[in-house]
């Protein structure tokens, strides 16, 4: 099937009062793993990748787009290709031009007015191309894909800014900071559901939770009931691939790379299945 926009997926999730899982991919094996599990479970999925992932592997936006489209072609699922955590307007434009159907401009560490202004620039360009835009208000702590959640201090979303931000930017969905963090939590995460409830009352668009790794199921269920429609998962899924790959080598140091990759993919698929199930209860 062809890629669709994230707005279509989130609108459908809103109607069903569920969320859509957003899983980061890094290479061919991880793309195939995600699509295979999503089709098996007959569920929609957000395929996402951050600029830092592409930079590390020297892959450009056009290449990852063509790879995803190739492996999507024979899959009977609804999915979008989303740019995760782009901190520059230029990266968003490059991804849109390359065929991404959704982008996130992350101005969460910028001054509020700069975040608003740059988000609006991305939205203006994206709307003309039929592409969904996600933004972040407040600042989710930690680093995507790293163990440890204290590299960057969290700044909770100010509910008083929500209406102004959405009205000014015309953004499609909003990532919020309510005590969630990227990476592996050092202790049990404490989400501020009262704050989320205030944000949900003010916002007329789907809300996004970053740092889904490690949040208990009951808390995720409650967050979904309060307007969270997209939940990001990266760290645990990524770690399972690494564990499978390294474990295969440790068990047999004569193993070929393709067999080690498949061992990593199989472990990753089990973790993806659990994440997709979380959002479809």
pLDDT of 152: 44
Residue 216 falls within a domain, yes or no?
yes
Q: Is 167 within the bounds of a domain?
A: yes
Examine residue 270 and state whether it is found in any structural domain, yes or no: no
* Residues contacting 128, CB < 8 A, separation 6+: none
3-state secondary structure of 49: strand
Residue 176 and residue 207: Cα distance in Å, rounded?
Answer: 7
Residue 134 lies inside a defined structural domain of this protein: yes
| Sign, Cα dihedral of 10, 15, 19, 20 | negative
Supply the pTM of this predicted model: 0.93
Distance CA 237, CA 265 (A): 10
Question: What integer pLDDT is reported at residue 186 of this predicted model?
Answer: 60
Three-class DSSP category at 269: helix
DSSP letters, 60-91, are -HHHHHHHHHHHHTT----EEEEEEEE-SHHH
Count of other CB atoms within 10 angstroms of residue 117: 15
Give the list of residues 6+ apart from residue 237 with CB closer than 8 angstroms, or none.
23, 24, 268, 271, 272, 275
Domain membership of residue 281 (yes or no) is no
Please indicate, yes or no, if residue 197 is contained in any of the structural domains.
yes
Kind plus residue range of the DSSP H or E element containing 108: none
Please tell me whether residue 140 adopts helix, strand or coil conformation.
Answer: coil
**Domain count within the chain:** 1
* CATH classification at residue 36: 3.20.20.70
Question: Which position has the token pair 């916002």?
Answer: 203
- 92: containing domain: 6-238
- Domain assignment present for 23: yes
- The pLDDT, as a whole number, for residue 184 is 61
Please name the residue ranges forming H helices in 43-183.
Answer: 51-57, 61-72, 89-98, 112-127, 159-169
User: 237-275 burial string, b = 16+ CB within 10 Å, else e?
Assistant: bbbbbeebbeebeeeeeeeeeeebbbbbbebbbebbbeb
Check if the beta carbon of residue 76 is closer than 8 Å to that of residue 39.
yes
pLDDT at 223: 97
Instruction: Give pLDDT tens digits along the chain (281 positions).
Output: 899 999 999 999 999 999 999 999 999 999 999 999 999 999 999 999 999 999 999 999 999 999 999 999 999 999 999 999 999 999 999 999 999 999 999 999 999 999 999 999 999 999 999 999 999 999 987 654 443 343 345 689 999 999 999 999 999 999 999 989 876 666 567 899 999 999 999 999 999 999 888 898 999 999 999 999 999 999 999 999 999 999 999 999 999 999 999 999 999 999 999 999 999 86
Q: Can you tell me the distance from the alpha carbon of 151 to that of 259, in angstroms, rounded to the nearest whole number?
A: 35
pLDDT at 242: 96
- Residue 196 belongs to a domain: yes
Catalytic residues: 84
């Amino acid at each position: 099937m062809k890629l669709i926009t994230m707005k279509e997926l989130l609108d459908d999730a809103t109607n069903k009062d569920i969320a859509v899982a957003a899983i980061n991919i890094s290479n061919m094996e991880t793309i195939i793993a995600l699509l295979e599990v999503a089709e098996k479970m007959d569920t929609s999925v957000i395929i996402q990748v951050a600029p830092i992932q592409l930079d590390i592997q020297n892959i450009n936006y056009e290449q990852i787009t063509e790879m995803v489209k190739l492996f999507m072609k024979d899959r009977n699922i609804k999915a979008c290709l989303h740019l995760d955590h782009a901190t520059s307007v230029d990266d968003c434009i490059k991804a849109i031009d390359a065929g991404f159907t959704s982008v996130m401009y992350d101005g969460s560490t910028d001054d509020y007015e700069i975040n608003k202004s740059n988000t609006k620039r991305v939205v203006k360009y994206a709307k003309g191309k039929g592409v969904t835009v996600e933004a972040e208000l407040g600042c989710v702590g930690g680093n995507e894909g790293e163990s440890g959640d204290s590299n960057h201090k969290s700044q909770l979303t100010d509910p008083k800014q929500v209406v102004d931000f959405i009205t000014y930017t015309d953004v499609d969905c909003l990532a919020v900071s309510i005590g969630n963090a990227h990476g592996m939590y050092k202790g049990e995460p404490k989400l501020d559901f009262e704050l989320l409830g205030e944000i949900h009352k003010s916002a007329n668009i789907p809300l996004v939770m970053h740092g889904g790794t490690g949040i208990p199921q009951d808390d995720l269920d409650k967050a979904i009931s309060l307007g969270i429609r997209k939940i990001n998962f990266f760290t645990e899924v990524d770690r399972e691939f690494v564990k499978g790959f390294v474990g295969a080598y440790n068990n047999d140091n004569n193993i070929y790379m393709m067999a080690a990759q498949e061992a990593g993919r199989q472990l990753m698929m089990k973790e993806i299945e659990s994440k997709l199930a979380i959002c479809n209860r």
